[in-house]
Structure 1
Amino acid sequence: MASENTFLPADLVETDPLLGVLRLAALSAGSGGMPDDPTLDLMFERLPAAGIGDELSAAAWRELARGLMGQRPSNMFVALSGCGALRLVLPEVAALFGVPQIADDPPQVDIGQHLLRVLDEAARCDAPLPVRFAALVMHIGKSDSPAEHLPVHYRHVERGRPRIEALCERFGVPEECRELALLALSECERVHRVTEVRAGPIAAMLERVGAFDRPDRFGQLLTLCACDYRAYRGHTAEEYPKASLLGVALKACAGVEEAGGFQGADGLQEARAAAIAKAFRSERWSSSGT
Structure 2
Amino acid sequence: MKVYLVGGAVRDSLLGLPVTEKDWVVVGATPEEMEANGFRPVGKDFPVFLHPDTQEEYALARTERKSGHGYGGFTFHAASDVSLEEDLIRRDLTINAMARSEGGEVVDPFQGKIDLKARLLRHVSPAFAEDPLRVLRVARFAARYHWLGFRVADDTLTLMRQLSDSGELDYLVPERVWKETSRALMEPAPQVFFQVLHACGALEKLFPELAALDGVPQPEAHHPEVDTLVHQWLCLEMAAKLKLPLTARYAVLCHDLGKAKTPQTEWPRHIAHEIRSARLSRTLSKRLRVPRDAADTAALVAEYHTHCHRALELKPQTVWKLFKALDVIRRPERLEDFLGACEADARGRTGFEDRDYPQANYLRGAAQALQCVDVAALRAQGIEGPALGDAIEKARIQAITTFKQQELNP
The answer to whether residue 394 in structure 2 is matched with residue 277 in structure 1 is: no
Letter of the 1:88 partner, please give it: K
Q: Given that residues 8 and 43 in structure 1 are in contact (C-alpha distance below 8 angstroms), is that contact kept between their aligned partners in structure 2?
A: no
- What do residues 96-129 of structure 1 show as CA deviations (whole Å, max 9, x unaligned)? 0111223535567211111111111111122111
- Residues 1:6 and 1:276: Cα distance change in structure 2 (over 3 Å): same
Aligned to 2:46: none
Q: Given that residues 9 and 23 in structure 1 are in contact (C-alpha distance below 8 angstroms), is that contact kept between their aligned partners in structure 2?
A: no
Aligned to 2:288: 171
- What do residues 17-52 of structure 1 show as CA deviations (whole Å, max 9, x unaligned)? 3x2212111111102533133332232233334363
| Cα offset, 1:169, TM superposition | 2.2
Could you state the TM-score of these two structures normalised by the residue count of structure 1? Answer: 0.86
Aligned to 2:155: 38
- Residues 1:9 and 1:244: Cα distance change in structure 2 (over 3 Å): farther
- Residues 1:259 and 1:276: Cα distance change in structure 2 (over 3 Å): farther
Q: How does 1:113-262 map to 2 (within 5 A)?
A: 113-195=230-312, 198-258=315-375, 260-261=377-378
| Cα offset, 1:180, TM superposition | 0.8
Aligned to 1:5: 121
| Cα offset, 1:271, TM superposition | 1.1
- For residues 298 and 324 of structure 2, the distance between their equivalents in structure 1, rounded to whole angstroms, comes to 18
- Match for residue 195 of structure 2 among 52, 72, 78: 78
Aligned to 2:86: none
Identity of paired residues, percent? 30
| Cα offset, 1:264, TM superposition | 2.4
- Relative CO higher for 1 or 2, CA cutoff 8 Å, sep ≥ 6? 1
Q: Given that residues 120 and 151 in structure 2 are in contact (C-alpha distance below 8 angstroms), is that contact kept between their aligned partners in structure 1?
A: no
| Cα offset, 1:146, TM superposition | 0.7
- For residues 234 and 327 of structure 2, the distance between their equivalents in structure 1, rounded to whole angstroms, comes to 27
- For residues 241 and 125 of structure 2, the distance between their equivalents in structure 1, rounded to whole angstroms, comes to 28
- Residues 1:10 and 1:239: Cα distance change in structure 2 (over 3 Å): farther
- What do residues 204-252 of structure 1 show as CA deviations (whole Å, max 9, x unaligned)? 2222212221011111000101111111233322331111111221222
- Residues 1:233 and 1:260: Cα distance change in structure 2 (over 3 Å): farther
Q: In structure 1, the residue corresponding to 2:226 is in which secondary structure?
A: strand
- Match for residue 109 of structure 1 among 226, 244, 265: 226
Q: In structure 1, the residue corresponding to 2:218 is in which secondary structure?
A: strand
Structure 1: which 5+ residue stretches go unaligned? 283-290
Q: How many residues align?
A: 280
Q: In structure 1, the residue corresponding to 2:152 is in which secondary structure?
A: coil
Is 69-78 or 187-196 further displaced after alignment? 187-196
| Cα offset, 1:8, TM superposition | 6.7
Letter of the 1:23 partner, please give it: R
Aligned to 1:288: none
Q: In structure 2, the residue corresponding to 1:239 is in which secondary structure?
A: coil
Is 201-210 or 54-63 further displaced after alignment? 54-63
Could you state the TM-score of these two structures normalised by the residue count of structure 2? Answer: 0.62
**When you count strand as a share of all residues, which structure comes out higher?**
2
Aligned to 2:139: 25
Q: In structure 2, the residue corresponding to 1:78 is in which secondary structure?
A: helix
- Residues 1:257 and 1:122: Cα distance change in structure 2 (over 3 Å): same
| Cα offset, 1:70, TM superposition | 0.7
- What do residues 111-163 of structure 1 show as CA deviations (whole Å, max 9, x unaligned)? 11111111111111221111111111222222121111112223434433443
| Structure possessing the higher radius of gyration over alpha carbons | 2
- For residues 119 and 110 of structure 1, the distance between their equivalents in structure 2, rounded to whole angstroms, comes to 15
- For residues 327 and 293 of structure 2, the distance between their equivalents in structure 1, rounded to whole angstroms, comes to 14
- Residues 1:114 and 1:197: Cα distance change in structure 2 (over 3 Å): closer
- Residues 1:54 and 1:21: Cα distance change in structure 2 (over 3 Å): closer
Q: CA RMSD in A?
A: 2.6
Q: Given that residues 131 and 223 in structure 1 are in contact (C-alpha distance below 8 angstroms), is that contact kept between their aligned partners in structure 2?
A: yes
The answer to whether residue 385 in structure 2 is matched with residue 268 in structure 1 is: no
Letter of the 1:82 partner, please give it: A
- What do residues 71-103 of structure 1 show as CA deviations (whole Å, max 9, x unaligned)? 001111111111222111211100101112235
Letter of the 2:145 partner, please give it: S
- For residues 197 and 212 of structure 1, the distance between their equivalents in structure 2, rounded to whole angstroms, comes to 19
- Residues 1:154 and 1:196: Cα distance change in structure 2 (over 3 Å): closer
Letter of the 1:20 partner, please give it: R
Q: Given that residues 103 and 232 in structure 1 are in contact (C-alpha distance below 8 angstroms), is that contact kept between their aligned partners in structure 2?
A: no
